[in-house]
Amino acid sequence: MSGAVVVEAPGRHRLAGHTPREPGPGEALVAVHAVGICGSDREVYQGNRPEGYVRYPLTPGHEWSGTVAQVGPGVPASLVGRKVVGEGFRNCQVCDRCHAGETTLCTAGYEETGFTQPGAMAGTLTLPARLLHVLPDDADLTAAALLEPAACIAAAALKANALPGERVAVVGTGTLGMFAAQFLKAVSPAELLVVGTRGDREALSRRFGASDFRLKDQTLPDDFDVVIETAGSASAARTAASLLRRGGRLVLTGIPAPGADGLDPTDLVVRQLEVHTVFGAPPAAWAHTVRVFGAGLLDPLPLVTHELPLTEFPQAIELVGAGDPKVGKVLLRP
């Protein structure tokens, strides 16, 4: 028996005993190596996640890596012992959106590991084996715990469809912004600009491939082919749109507060901007992420600044929301 974080209700949690659940038909049991914490986990704990997108009591944890320890009937035994990460969305597989590969748009309703289904802040996680993505045998599982947010950005990169030689930009310098820079760098752009609000992120941005870095309040260009927004504010979305040339491609990944002023539709139409949005990652984005990670083109490890045991869950939540520039990605280790 190991431990598990259980959020009973907003603001109330406990460290409970954890007994692994035997995998049923089509399922796998994964020994969790590490689990990341993001702003949505903080929302779960504070109780301000939108209605319908959380179910209490709950073991959180949707960003994770681990090793398959056991499989149920109908699952290849060769999976046992493999290093894996896993998709979070529990799609139905039978609706038209699932058949189209757009599993994050499943019409059967929202179900996701760590929000409405038990998550990875425990010694083990049992889930449908079809959601697993196998990693190379020599993969660093600590780095791999960040592949869920990377997959969300991979979805944005695929929609952006940046071509070699195009001028590309990223708005936002958090974890998602740094992943966006790496995915865009991998397509050999002519120029890669990162725009943010913190000057201390310039060195890391350049490490991940940025050829230019500017603060949001500086003079910015307006002739880029592709821009990915990752900052999660309405003003960041407007900044991202302003960077584009006429006919440029914009991908929004951030979720501003409800009721925020959005983009000017007249500007979008007159400039003929192509706008995409991303919420979560479908299987194609996960497969792309694992492939890029395995090829050594994606380096999540420099983003990790804290690794804590499960018993320090409250401290981890505080770190994520403290606004301290020295805090990057926080991991819990079961």
Pairing of strands 63-71, 191-196: unpaired
State residue 181's pLDDT score.
98
Which token pair is 266? Answer: 């007249």
Report which of 297, 278, 181, 170 is spatially closest to residue 229, judged by C-alpha positions: 170
What is the rounded CA–CA span in Å between residue 27 and residue 128? 4
> Are 142 and 65 within 8 A, CB to CB?
yes
- Least confident segment among 6-15, 174-183, 253-262, 315-324: 253-262
Q: Which of 172, 160, 133 is nearest to 292 (CA)?
A: 133
Confidence of residue 255 (pLDDT cuts 50, 70, 90): confident
Q: Given a cut of 70, is residue 164 above it in pLDDT?
A: yes
pLDDT at 76 over 90: yes
* pLDDT for residue 172 is more than 80: yes
- Nearest CA to 277 out of 256, 261, 295, 303 is that of 256
Query: What does the radius of gyration of the chain's CA atoms come to, in whole angstroms?
Result: 20
Q: How does pLDDT run across 108-151, given as a tens digit for each residue?
A: 999 999 999 999 999 999 999 999 999 999 999 999 999 999 99
- The predicted-structure confidence for 215-234, as pLDDT tens digits, reads as follows 999 999 999 999 999 998 99
Amino acid letter, 179: F
Task: For residue 31, report the phi and psi dihedrals to the nearest 5 degrees.
Answer: -80, 115
Q: What is the pLDDT of residue 322?
A: 84
The phi, psi pair for 243, rounded to 5°, reads -75, -15
pLDDT score of 200 more than 90: yes
Residue 244 has pLDDT above 90, yes or no: yes
Q: Residue 305: which of 330, 283, 284, 325 has the closest Cα?
A: 330
pLDDT for the residue numbered 1: 59
Specify the amino acid at residue 326: K
Backbone phi, psi, residue 15, to 5°: -100, 110
At 81 the pLDDT is 98
Q: At what angle do helices 147-160 and 175-185 cross, to 10 degrees?
A: 50
Residues making up the chain, counted from first to last: 334
pLDDT in tens, 18-49: 999 999 999 999 999 999 999 999 999 999 99
pLDDT in tens, 274-329: 999 999 999 999 999 999 999 999 999 999 999 999 999 999 999 998 888 889 99
Chain mean pLDDT for the chain = 96
